[in-house]
Amino acid sequence: MFLTPAPDTGQLTVAPRDFPTNRGGLCQKGWTSAELLTSPERLTTPLIRDGKDAPLREAGWDEALAHVTRRFAELRATRGPDSVAVFGSGGLTNEKAYALGKFARVALGTSQIDYNGRFCMSSAAAAGNRAFGLDRGLPFPATDLDDSEAVVLVGANPAETMPPLMGHFDPARLIVVDPRRTATAQTALDAGGLHLAPTPGTDLALALGLLHVALVEGHLDTPGRVAYRRDRTTGWEAVRKCAARWWPERTERLTGVAAADLRRAAAVLAGARRAHILTGRGAEQHSKGVDTVAAWIDLALALGLPGTPGSGYGCLTGQGNGQGGREHGQKSDQLPGYRHIEDRAGREHLARVWGVREEEIPGAGRSAWELLDALGTQDGPAALLVMGSNPAVSAPRSRRVIERLRGLDFLVVADFVRSETTELADVVLPVAMWAEESGTMTNLEGRVLRRRAAKAPPPGVRTDLEVLHGLAVRLGRSGEEFPPDPAPVFAELRRASAGGVADYAGVEPRLLDDDAPVYWPARSATGAGTRPGGPAAALGTPRLFLDRFAHADGRARFLPVEYREAAELPDAEHPLYATTGRQLEHYQSGAQTRRVPALRAAAPQAYVEVHPDTARRAGLADGEEARVVSRRGTVLARTRYVASMRPDTVFLPFHFPGTGAANVLTNPALDPVSRMPEFKVSAVRLERADANAPKEGE
């Protein structure tokens, strides 16, 4: 995106930058996001709360930063370094994500850091690491999708969540797997594509069912596929056995997808010369998200897609810097360069770069939900610094999270607007927005992009890097260790990531000024500085896995998986599945988009999509306020009749706070590997809202 001054008013608006990933397209929230830059709701002065019941009052930067570091230092001294925790974001630039991870480990010495990416694509990341030895959203440029003959979209609704990506799909060749007939599914159906609508939480069985059909119908016996499995993979036999039990009628009984549709989808997919399987949050945000993604990767491997030119598996990474944000150490078990925190050589490398002893680098901390749930408890952190997230709205079982945030001794939030989380804070630090600071981001293709500040932040506002600099210096670190400017931070990030999986060593800043793309891994500056293919040639690694996968033996691993149920299933008291997700007009917890008048007008309040028969059984007319009740609490939402909904399933967007917050309902059952909560399945019932006053839940 580019910020350009409007010719008439001189006001900055967002213009789409013309490069192939977004084809000059931009979603509605993108078009209007510049409004926030000049919104009167921007925070422009630090705020401090003197005591738990006092209001937030304005303060100077010196006072605010000194107050924060005094409290952090006190807690460290009395309760140990793990008493102070950090919560980061996939919305931060690479520089900020890196600096935040270093700040936690080096300036605070805490192991207690995690980030909202844990709630985002951590299941796909874990499955990708297991299968391929490396996790990069798309291991190929998005333009490869243009020529694909079959694209399976599992639990992704790009028509609303990534509109520019839709330009890469031929809708007639889409196979959309979503319990709802989304805008994406409708686009496919209108063009002659397929829509499979499984029961929420059953995608794993669906993938095995498709694999079964492909197997018994002989689609996997082509010489090319046999050779691919033999030469490029291990573990096929075990996965073949897993799939053997998922004959179509059994798969239909469990998933609700008709056997005939399964056969059709398998035939389309297997018959394509170039095909892709892409997962989104609908497949991933489950207590079995890793195994579910693994099952879809198994199907992709059986068909010989990953690492074959023109085909592949990918995860549709979500946030602004969802990719870069997951590589440089915000995750509780990770060090920069996508290294595991327990990897001895990695620790020694980082110790050298950071100028500390290896033993000083803490080990793994708690995952996002576990961290939030431990706040203010006896063994948990007593203080938290939040940078780039609004967990009071976006974390599962949000009433519990709000209670935990309230129970902290000390909460610090850096944000550019007030949010439901800043309202609970003891100190709020006003920071610059994306257009006001420079830095790099890495898109879902692993392409590193530079963003230059387009305007100065409002007076009184600092950048996140300046905030971390100010805090670190007051905690006794040197200013050079935590530079306030992005350029030296990126230089250090390149050294820190060198030799890691996500290696940025060769991503020289001057290369980012060219229009030609640079993809990680870019192992060294040698060769990266010249473009042997001419000035427009890509540098680094646009396509991964063409010769070998990232495991030591160069092979991809089939991952044997067994189906298991969601952690919570409908019963007599809560007879419906509730699933959650996004709508076009709002972004995430809504902290930003609910402040843009046009977006607020287009989508003013929480709603629940429900089949008319299901709604009528609960006595609910279209447009009437409903009470949605799960074991964790109650939400108020407008009934929205949607005739294409499964009668057993309702859908709520999670963008709204307070009584309309979908996350009041959600179940923090975690995937055992990725620690992803089950945002996409909980059991609920619907009631008329006027029957009684709303119950407060737990």
Please report how close the Cβ of residue 648 comes to ligand MGD at its closest, in angstroms.
Answer: 12
In angstroms, the Cα distances linking 586 to 30, 343, 349, 554 are 10, 40, 41, 42
Applying CB under 5 A, which of residues 34, 97, 113, 120 lies at the interface with Mo ion?
120
Tokens 């209108």, located at residue: 190
Q: Does residue 318 belong to the site contacting Mo ion (CB under 5 A)?
A: yes
Pick the closest to residue 94 from 431, 450, 343 (CA basis). 450
Q: What does the DSSP assignment read for 377-403?
A: STTS-SEEEEES--HHHHSSSHHHHHH
The interface partner of residue 283, options being ligand MGD, Mo ion, none and the CB cut-off 5 to 8 Å by kind, is ligand MGD
- Site residues (CB under 6 A) for ligand MGD? 29, 89-92, 116, 119-120, 154-158, 160-162, 177-180, 182, 200-201, 203, 280-283, 285, 318-319, 387-391, 394, 414-417, 419, 431, 464, 579-582, 584, 586-589, 591-592, 651, 654, 662-663, 666, 679-680
Tokens 């075990």, located at residue: 238
Q: Does residue 329 belong to the site contacting Mo ion (CB under 5 A)?
A: no
The bridge status of strand 339-340 relative to strand 334-335 is antiparallel
Measured from the CB atom, the residue of 363 and 597 that comes closer to ligand MGD is 597
Measured from the CB atom, the residue of 107 and 283 that comes closer to Mo ion is 283
Choices 119-127, 164-172, 266-274, 511-519 (CB under 5 A): range interacting with Mo ion: 119-127
Residue 72 to residue 476: CA distance in whole angstroms: 12
Choices 161-169, 317-325, 331-339, 645-653 (CB under 5 A): range interacting with Mo ion: 317-325
Instruction: Identify the burial level of 267 via C-beta atoms within 10 angstroms of its C-beta, where 0-12 means exposed, 13-18 middle and 19 or more buried.
Output: middle
Measured from the CB atom, the residue of 511 and 642 that comes closer to ligand MGD is 642
In angstroms, the Cα distances linking 482 to 238, 477, 493 are 49, 8, 12
The single-letter code of the amino acid at 126 is A
Choices 137-145, 315-323, 398-406, 513-521 (CB under 5 A): range interacting with Mo ion: 315-323
Measured from the CB atom, the residue of 178 and 466 that comes closer to ligand MGD is 178
The interface partner of residue 679, options being ligand MGD, Mo ion, none and the CB cut-off 5 to 8 Å by kind, is ligand MGD
Q: Does residue 158 belong to the site contacting Mo ion (CB under 5 A)?
A: no
Residues 6 or more apart whose CB falls under 8 angstroms from that of 328 comprise 94, 97, 98, 101, 336, 337, 338, 493, 496, 497, 502
Residues 6 or more apart whose CB falls under 8 angstroms from that of 138 comprise 312, 314, 315, 317, 444, 445, 446
Measured from the CB atom, the residue of 119 and 132 that comes closer to Mo ion is 119
The interface partner of residue 380, options being Mo ion, ligand MGD, none and the CB cut-off 5 to 8 Å by kind, is none
Measured from the CB atom, the residue of 27 and 270 that comes closer to ligand MGD is 27
b/e sequence 28-56, b meaning 16+ C-beta within 10 Å: bbbbbbbbbbeeeebbebbbbbeeeeeeb
Please report how close the Cβ of residue 56 comes to ligand MGD at its closest, in angstroms.
Answer: 15
The interface partner of residue 308, options being ligand MGD, Mo ion, none and the CB cut-off 5 to 8 Å by kind, is none
The single-letter code of the amino acid at 136 is R
Specify whether the CB–CB gap between 328 and 94 falls below 8 A.
Answer: yes
Residue 292 to residue 122: CA distance in whole angstroms: 12
Specify whether the CB–CB gap between 590 and 655 falls below 8 A.
Answer: yes
Choices 43-51, 116-124, 163-171, 343-351 (CB under 5 A): range interacting with Mo ion: 116-124
Measured from the CB atom, the residue of 98 and 654 that comes closer to ligand MGD is 654
Measured from the CB atom, the residue of 361 and 676 that comes closer to ligand MGD is 676
Please report how close the Cβ of residue 200 comes to ligand MGD at its closest, in angstroms.
Answer: 4
Please report how close the Cβ of residue 577 comes to ligand MGD at its closest, in angstroms.
Answer: 8
Please report how close the Cβ of residue 322 comes to ligand MGD at its closest, in angstroms.
Answer: 6
Residues 6 or more apart whose CB falls under 8 angstroms from that of 133 comprise 549, 550, 551, 552
Please report how close the Cβ of residue 527 comes to ligand MGD at its closest, in angstroms.
Answer: 33
Please report how close the Cβ of residue 334 comes to Mo ion at its closest, in angstroms.
Answer: 17
Please report how close the Cβ of residue 586 comes to Mo ion at its closest, in angstroms.
Answer: 13
Distance of CA 416 to the CA centre of its chain: 21
The interface partner of residue 306, options being Mo ion, ligand MGD, none and the CB cut-off 5 to 8 Å by kind, is none
Measured from the CB atom, the residue of 32 and 321 that comes closer to Mo ion is 321
Measured from the CB atom, the residue of 318 and 542 that comes closer to Mo ion is 318
Helix 464-474, helix 61-79: angle, nearest 10: 50
Please report how close the Cβ of residue 119 comes to Mo ion at its closest, in angstroms.
Answer: 7
Q: Rg of the chain's alpha carbons, rounded to an integer?
A: 24
Measured from the CB atom, the residue of 119 and 504 that comes closer to ligand MGD is 119
Please report how close the Cβ of residue 697 comes to Mo ion at its closest, in angstroms.
Answer: 25
Query: Among positive and negative, which fits the CA dihedral 159, 164, 167, 169?
Result: negative
Q: Residue 456 gets which letter from DSSP?
A: P
Measured from the CB atom, the residue of 194 and 550 that comes closer to ligand MGD is 194
Site for Mo ion in 47-106 (CB under 5 A): none
The interface partner of residue 662, options being Mo ion, ligand MGD, none and the CB cut-off 5 to 8 Å by kind, is ligand MGD
Measured from the CB atom, the residue of 233 and 319 that comes closer to Mo ion is 319
Q: Residue 336 gets which letter from DSSP?
A: T
Pick the closest to residue 340 from 44, 397, 332 (CA basis). 332
The single-letter code of the amino acid at 370 is E
Residue 424 to residue 407: CA distance in whole angstroms: 10
The interface partner of residue 417, options being ligand MGD, Mo ion, none and the CB cut-off 5 to 8 Å by kind, is ligand MGD
Please report how close the Cβ of residue 237 comes to ligand MGD at its closest, in angstroms.
Answer: 28
Please report how close the Cβ of residue 141 comes to ligand MGD at its closest, in angstroms.
Answer: 19
The interface partner of residue 288, options being Mo ion, ligand MGD, none and the CB cut-off 5 to 8 Å by kind, is none
The single-letter code of the amino acid at 528 is A
Please report how close the Cβ of residue 652 comes to ligand MGD at its closest, in angstroms.
Answer: 8
Tokens 């988009």, located at residue: 593
- Residues found near Mo ion in the complex (CB under 5 A): 120, 318-319
